[in-house]
């Protein structure tokens, strides 16, 4: 079949009818169309490749983060109390609830902070008015910065309000006719301003739901938060905020928000971050519109139960990466009381039912193990995980109180915690998939992948019609799936790179039919043709990739040499592709990318030594002779910086030699590699440029930034911590 | 003879890997399935120039008996292998493309008016959608004179492709 055979006859018959159009003309039109569609497909392929590069580097980073966190947890549980390493990292595990709220309020007091006379940024007075908030937005548009006194004041008020809000916001369209829903913003202030420009500022006539991920990556995370919180305070019945997986101080350490705040607020940054930790934990988890539309940041799983979510103490989950603390016994008896609040059951009955349930259940520790295993689905470190869970189980059972408690009650409480934690992580981390079922989300390391059958089931169970979520960057800013019952909305345009994607927001009226509005933040990118925008994004992605090659140079070299036993210096392109897959663990189509990454071959063979040279990356400091160390630093740049920031407890930006050495040892045991103390000390001394016995973190990081000599680009890179 | 057999196997294996790589690029959930709407892109990216009808036929062959909106790799692989080995849907050369434009340029002006091209592309053959037409114009059209200098256009596109 194929139109080539039948058409000419048809065409000949119709020739006279069609007047001007002859057979050759018809054929020509068809040929041009056929050719053009092929061309567009090729472009789409390149765009897809580029996307994959960015996304896999991003997700590998998220996995890394979780691995790093697990490693710290393991250290915490296994080091003896006297160990100095333990002290070094212990404060990330320090209980937030050591002080009561009143004491925290004293700590966060802004009243002693003075505003200097030469301050020309925006001023705030409370209670806020429309005028003040509008001026705040304008000030940020003009790149001004809000003084830390006002920041703490505003955040303090926000904290007070959030503590009053339920876990699930309930919104009605009869109150204000249409509701606007925005997805991830990730510090892209220009996108938020664009939305306000197109759609109007939040007000009693213009309701907004913001669906999480306000911070990290972009440069104006704190400004976005301040604006959203200001509008929340101003219009608490018309502005709704959901928590995203990036509203989490552990994630912020890696992805740039912590750095942004400390950079902008040198004196009070730490306090601001601490207060934000609390605020993040108090953000509501979901919003429901007219009992019919559910809005959450990540998604759902087959076990999602809104009634569990509605009842939990959401603020106990300061970081969704961190499993719940074991409940103190006092709190646990409170659990029993809460159970009695179950709708139909009598008080005693429901508690007893629970007890029976846990007895007949297969061993409590196993089910706990299972449910936690799902949330930490990184198989390679299973040994550590099992240990970890054993530790936690023991911790759960080692009660500090004198009163006798039954083992079942305590493991019940721990189980309930685990269940709640799973519910929370699923809401914030999950992604939809096309196949039926529900499987752990191993790409991200948290949450799950859920299929259309799960959507049906969960929505029907809760009498809902539509699920709106964010969490994934989409080229058009939005995407429907699962027979249009799930809608992804993403509001940070040009997320990976200029021209990579549009942003979008939704307007929802009483008919609950979503209307999507798209935009792109810079005019120049809108005017680029398809091939220009693909080209630009592609160059950026390829640059990021080349940096990965450099970071893994020795591993790659040794695999190349395995394929070249006779030491000819050449390997086949086929072997090159296999080597890339094996070493880099990035799920990328290496054969497709080959033409972009390999410049010259002879007879299908690649000279790999010269290929490395051609990568055009200059090593920044040739005096640092320890190549292994260098490479490790490049590879684990983010991890290293994260660890540094944790260790720099007073946020001075300086760490001592001893701290540096300990940092290094931590990292090398995480990576299970041997680096001699001597090499570390050497390195430390060579970095201490001013010889004062301490290392400036920023200078250290600078010393190891990769410079791509072809582009003289000191800017964007997925590997470097985003500014 | 043995050599030839080895060669043939090696070639087949390379073809399979090519197809697999292209497929994986659109396999968003790493479960060896792609959305049926992306099959056209995959096939074309492997160097084929099918018409829409020909594409439809390949899809029908690769679909399950009960089409579910996605294509599974195990069904796609044999179909696509055959397409590549039999060299179906051969490429369109630069010369042929140029000739096609020249045919449409009935008055031999050396260029086409925007309206002319639009009429051909959206009404004849396997018509373009509005989006496709706009995208082609944005790349091909000289905005000042409102014409498409097709010779330059073709040269430019061919260079792009080579990159």
Mean pLDDT in residue range A357-379: 30
Residues B66 and B129 placed together within one structural domain of the fold: no
Can you list the alpha helix ranges (DSSP code H) found in A340-406? 347-360, 364-375, 382-397
Residues B81 and B110 placed together within one structural domain of the fold: no
Does position A327 have pLDDT exceeding 60, yes or no? no
Q: Is A54 helix (H, G, I), strand (E, B) or coil?
A: helix
B18, B51, B98: best to mutate for the A interface, most A CBs within 10 A: B51
Q: What per-residue confidence (pLDDT) applies to A392? A: 43
Q: What per-residue confidence (pLDDT) applies to A223? A: 97
Counting residues of chain A whose pLDDT is more than 70, the rounded percentage is: 61
B24, B31, B45: best to mutate for the A interface, most A CBs within 10 A: B45
Q: Which residues of B touch A55 (CB under 8 A)?
A: none
Q: What per-residue confidence (pLDDT) applies to A683? A: 65
CA–CA gap between residue A720 and residue A703 (Å, rounded): 12
Strand pairing report for A466-469 and A486-489: parallel
Give a yes or no: residue B30 inside a domain.
yes
CA–CA gap between residue A473 and residue A216 (Å, rounded): 14
Does position A563 have pLDDT exceeding 80, yes or no? yes
Q: Considering B85, B107, B123, which residue would you say is the last residue of a domain? A: B85
CA–CA gap between residue A484 and residue B154 (Å, rounded): 40
Q: In 3D, which of A375, A364, A376, A461 has the Cα closest to residue A424?
A: A375
Range A289-311 burial, b when 16+ CB lie within 10 A, else e:
bbeebbbbbbbbbebbebebbeb
| A476 contacts A468 by C-beta, under 8 angstroms | no
Does position B125 have pLDDT exceeding 50, yes or no? yes
Closest CB from B25, B44, B54 relative to A48? B25
Residues B22 and B68 placed together within one structural domain of the fold: yes
Residues B28 and B81 placed together within one structural domain of the fold: yes
Q: What per-residue confidence (pLDDT) applies to A534? A: 66
Question: Given an 8 Å threshold on Cβ–Cβ distance, is B44 in contact with A41?
Answer: yes
Active site (annotated) includes residue A188: no
Does position A271 have pLDDT exceeding 70, yes or no? yes
Q: Is A712 exposed, middle or buried (0-12, 13-18, 19+ CB in 10 A)?
A: exposed
Give a yes or no: residue B163 inside a domain.
no
CA–CA gap between residue B146 and residue A441 (Å, rounded): 51
What would the two tokens of residue A130 be? Answer: 């429309």
CA distance A138 to chain B (A): 36
Mean pLDDT in residue range B151-158: 82
CA–CA gap between residue A24 and residue A9 (Å, rounded): 13
Residues B73 and B101 placed together within one structural domain of the fold: no
Residues B78 and B112 placed together within one structural domain of the fold: no
A366 falls in which pLDDT band (50, 70, 90)? Answer: very low
Mean pLDDT in residue range A278-292: 95
Residues B113 and B143 placed together within one structural domain of the fold: yes
Question: Given an 8 Å threshold on Cβ–Cβ distance, is A38 in contact with B49?
Answer: yes
What would the two tokens of residue A683 be? Answer: 């390195």
Residues B98 and B148 placed together within one structural domain of the fold: yes
Q: By mean pLDDT, which of A4-13, A335-344, A628-637, A696-705 is the weakest?
A: A335-344
More confident residue, A529 or A500: A500
Residues B105 and B75 placed together within one structural domain of the fold: no
Q: What per-residue confidence (pLDDT) applies to A67? A: 64
Does position A371 have pLDDT exceeding 90, yes or no? no
Counting residues of chain B whose pLDDT is more than 70, the rounded percentage is: 95
B85 touches chain A (CB under 8 A): no
More confident residue, A647 or A626: A647
Give a yes or no: residue B102 inside a domain.
yes
More confident residue, A590 or A28: A28
Question: Given an 8 Å threshold on Cβ–Cβ distance, is A591 in contact with B31?
Answer: no
Counting residues of chain A whose pLDDT is more than 90, the rounded percentage is: 34
Give a yes or no: residue B130 inside a domain.
yes
List, for residues A303-316, the tens digit of each pLDDT value: 999 999 999 999 98
CA–CA gap between residue A594 and residue B17 (Å, rounded): 13
Residues 6+ apart with CB under 8 A from A45: A592, B22, B25, B41, B42, B45
What's B152's domain CATH number? 1.10.238.10
List, for residues A496-514, the tens digit of each pLDDT value: 877 788 999 999 998 899 9
Collect contacts of B83-91 with beta carbons under 8 A, ≥24 apart. B83/B43, B83/B48, B83/B58, B84/B15, B84/B18, B84/B19, B84/B46, B84/B47, B84/B48, B85/B12, B85/B15, B88/B48, B88/B50, B88/B54, B89/B43, B89/B48, B89/B49, B89/B50, B89/B54, B90/B49, B91/A38, B91/B47, B91/B48, B91/B49
Token pair 């939990």 is found at A312
Closest CB from B17, B135, B157 relative to A591? B17
State how far the alpha carbon of A249 is from the alpha carbons of A130, A260, A439, in Å: 31, 13, 27
Range of the domain at B54: 2-85
A7, A17, A38, A593: best to mutate for the B interface, most B CBs within 10 A: A38
Does position A134 have pLDDT exceeding 60, yes or no? yes
What would the two tokens of residue A183 be? Answer: 């997805």
Domain tally, chain B: 2
Residues B17 and B69 placed together within one structural domain of the fold: yes
Question: Given an 8 Å threshold on Cβ–Cβ distance, is B104 in contact with A33?
Answer: no
Q: What per-residue confidence (pLDDT) applies to B163? A: 47
Give a yes or no: residue B22 inside a domain.
yes
Range A27-54 burial, b when 16+ CB lie within 10 A, else e:
bbbbbbbbbbbbbbbbbbbbbbbbbbbb
What would the two tokens of residue B52 be? Answer: 């829409």
Does position A710 have pLDDT exceeding 50, yes or no? no
User: Does the CA dihedral A62-A65-A69-A71 come out positive or negative?
Assistant: positive
Mean pLDDT in residue range A630-638: 61
Q: Is A437 helix (H, G, I), strand (E, B) or coil?
A: coil
Q: By mean pLDDT, which of A47-56, A469-478, A581-590, A659-668 is the weakest?
A: A659-668
Q: How large is the ipTM?
A: 0.92
Does position A421 have pLDDT exceeding 80, yes or no? yes
A393 falls in which pLDDT band (50, 70, 90)? Answer: very low
List, for residues A208-223, the tens digit of each pLDDT value: 999 999 999 899 999 9
Residue of chain B minimizing CA distance to A52: B25
| A520 contacts A556 by C-beta, under 8 angstroms | no
Q: Considering B50, B85, B120, which residue would you say is the last residue of a domain? A: B85
Residues B114 and B77 placed together within one structural domain of the fold: no
| A55 contacts A473 by C-beta, under 8 angstroms | yes
State how far the alpha carbon of A417 is from the alpha carbons of A309, A358, A396, B10, B131, in Å: 12, 14, 11, 56, 52
Question: Given an 8 Å threshold on Cβ–Cβ distance, is B97 in contact with A3?
Answer: no
CA–CA gap between residue A202 and residue A216 (Å, rounded): 23
Q: What per-residue confidence (pLDDT) applies to A331? A: 36
- What backbone torsions phi and psi does residue B4 show, to the nearest 5 degrees? -60, -40
Strand pairing report for A286-289 and A293-295: antiparallel
Catalytic residue from among A147, A186, A188, A246: A246
Give a yes or no: residue B38 inside a domain.
yes
CA–CA gap between residue A16 and residue A71 (Å, rounded): 79
Residues B77 and B46 placed together within one structural domain of the fold: yes
Most confident of A360-369, A523-532, B78-87: B78-87
Q: What per-residue confidence (pLDDT) applies to B27? A: 84
Interface of B with A in 33-62 (CB under 8 A): 33, 35, 40-45, 48-54, 57
Question: Given an 8 Å threshold on Cβ–Cβ distance, is B135 in contact with A529?
Answer: yes
Question: Given an 8 Å threshold on Cβ–Cβ distance, is A29 in contact with B124?
Answer: yes
List, for residues A609-624, the tens digit of each pLDDT value: 888 877 655 444 444 4
CA–CA gap between residue A271 and residue A252 (Å, rounded): 15
B133 touches chain A (CB under 8 A): no
List, for residues A87-123, the tens digit of each pLDDT value: 555 555 554 444 566 777 777 888 888 899 999 999 9
Q: By mean pLDDT, which of A169-183, A235-249, A371-385, A417-431 is the weakest?
A: A371-385
Q: Considering B63, B85, B107, which residue would you say is the last residue of a domain? A: B85
Bridge partners, residue B57, by sequence: none
Give a yes or no: residue B162 inside a domain.
no
CA atoms within 13 A on the CB side of A692: 6
Closest CB from B31, B57, B106 relative to A1? B57
What would the two tokens of residue A172 be? Answer: 């009605």
Question: Given an 8 Å threshold on Cβ–Cβ distance, is B53 in contact with A2?
Answer: yes
């Amino acid at each position: 079949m194929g139109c080539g055979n039948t058409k000419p006859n048809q065409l000949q018959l119709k020739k006279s009818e069609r007047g001007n159009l002859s057979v050759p003309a018809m054929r020509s039109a068809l040929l041009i169309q056929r050719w053009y569609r092929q061309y567009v497909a090729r472009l789409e392929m390149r765009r897809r490749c580029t996307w994959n590069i960015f996304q896999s580097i991003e997700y590998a980073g998220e996995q890394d983060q979780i691995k790093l966190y697990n490693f710290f947890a393991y250290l915490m549980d296994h080091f003896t109390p006297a160990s100095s390493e333990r002290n070094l990292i212990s404060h990330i595990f320090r209980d937030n609830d050591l002080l009561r709220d009143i004491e925290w309020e004293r700590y966060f007091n802004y009243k002693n902070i003075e505003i200097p006379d030469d301050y020309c940024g925006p001023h705030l007075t409370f209670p806020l008015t429309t005028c003040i908030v509008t001026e705040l937005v304008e000030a940020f548009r003009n790149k001004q910065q809000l003084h830390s006194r006002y920041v703490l004041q505003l955040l303090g008020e926000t904290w007070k309000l959030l503590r009053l809000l339920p876990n699930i916001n309930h919104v009605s369209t009869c109150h204000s006719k249409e509701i606007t829903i925005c997805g991830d913003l990730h510090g892209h202030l220009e996108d938020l301003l664009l939305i306000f420009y197109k759609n109007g500022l939040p007000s009693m006539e213009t309701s907004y739901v913001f669906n999480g991920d306000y911070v990290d990556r972009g440069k104006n995370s704190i400004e976005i938060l301040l604006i959203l919180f200001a509008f929340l305070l101003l219009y608490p019945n018309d502005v709704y905020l959901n928590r995203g997986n990036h509203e989490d101080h552990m994630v912020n350490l890696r992805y740039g928000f912590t750095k942004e705040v400390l950079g902008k607020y040198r004196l009070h940054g730490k306090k601001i971050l601490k207060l934000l930790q609390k605020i993040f934990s108090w953000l509501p988890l979901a919003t429901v519109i007219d009992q019919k539309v559910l809005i959450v940041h990540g998604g759902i799983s087959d076990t999602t139960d809104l009634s569990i979510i509605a009842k939990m103490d959401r603020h106990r989950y300061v970081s969704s990466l961190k499993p719940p603390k074991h409940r103190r016994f006092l709190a646990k008896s409170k659990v029993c009381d809460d159970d009695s609040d179950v709708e139909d059951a009598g008080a005693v009955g429901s508690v007893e039912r629970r007890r029976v349930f846990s007895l007949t259940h297969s061993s409590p520790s196993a089910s706990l193990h299972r449910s936690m295993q799902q949330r930490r689905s990184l198989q390679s470190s299973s040994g550590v995980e099992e240990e970890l869970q054993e530790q936690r189980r023991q911790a759960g059972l080692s009660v500090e109180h004198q009163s006798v408690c039954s083992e079942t009650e305590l493991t019940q409480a721990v189980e309930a915690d685990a269940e709640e934690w799973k519910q929370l992580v699923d809401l914030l981390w999950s992604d939809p998939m096309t196949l039926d079922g529900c499987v752990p989300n191993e790409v991200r390391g948290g949450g799950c992948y859920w299929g259309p059958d799960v959507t049906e089931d969960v929505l029907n169970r809760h009498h809902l019609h539509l699920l709106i979520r964010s969490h994934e960057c989409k080229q058009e800013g939005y995407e429907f799936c699962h027979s249009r019952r799930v809608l992804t909305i993403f509001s940070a345009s040009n997320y990976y790179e200029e021209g990579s994607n549009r942003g979008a927001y939704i307007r929802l009226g009483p008919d609950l039919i979503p209307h999507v509005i798209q935009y792109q933040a810079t005019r120049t990118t809108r005017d680029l043709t398809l091939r220009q925008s693909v080209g630009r994004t592609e160059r950026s992605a390829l640059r990021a990739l080349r940096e990965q090659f450099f970071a893994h140079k020795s591993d790659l070299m040794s695999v190349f040499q395995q394929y070249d036993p006779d030491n000819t210096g050449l390997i086949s392109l086929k072997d090159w592709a296999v080597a890339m897959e094996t070493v880099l663990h990035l799920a990328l189509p290496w054969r497709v990318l080959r033409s972009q990454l390999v410049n010259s071959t002879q007879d299908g063979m690649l000279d790999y030594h010269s290929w490395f040279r051609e990568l055009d990356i200059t090593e920044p400091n040739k005096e640092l002779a320890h190549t292994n160390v260098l490479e490790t630093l490049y590879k684990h740049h983010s991890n290293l910086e994260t660890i540094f920031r944790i260790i720099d407890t007073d946020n001075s930006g300086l760490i001592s030699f001893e701290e540096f050495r300990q940092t290094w040892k931590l990292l090398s045991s995480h990576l299970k590699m041997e680096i001699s103390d001597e090499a570390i000390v050497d390195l430390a001394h060579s970095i201490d440029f001013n010889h004062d016995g301490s290392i400036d973190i920023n200078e250290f990081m600078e010393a190891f930034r990769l410079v791509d000599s072809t582009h003289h680009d000191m800017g964007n890179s997925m590997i470097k911590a985003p500014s | 003879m043995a050599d030839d057999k080895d060669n043939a196997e090696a070639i087949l294996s390379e073809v399979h890997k090519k197809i697999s790589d292209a497929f994986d690029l659109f396999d968003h959930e790493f479960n060896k399935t792609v959305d049926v709407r992306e099959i056209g892109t995959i096939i074309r990216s492997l160097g084929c120039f099918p018409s829409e009808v020909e594409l439809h036929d390949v899809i029908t062959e690769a679909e399950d008996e009960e089409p579910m909106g996605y294509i599974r790799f195990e069904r796609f692989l044999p179909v696509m292998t055959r397409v590549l080995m039999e060299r179906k849907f051969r490429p369109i050369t630069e010369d042929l493309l140029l000739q096609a434009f020249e045919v449409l340029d009935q008055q031999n002006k050396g260029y086409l008016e925007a309206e002319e091209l639009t009429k051909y592309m959206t009404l004849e053959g396997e018509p373009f959608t509005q989006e496709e037409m706009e995208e082609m114009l944005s790349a091909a059209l000289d905005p000042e004179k409102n014409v498409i200098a097709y010779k330059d256009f073709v040269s430019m596109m061919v260079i792009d492709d080579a990159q």
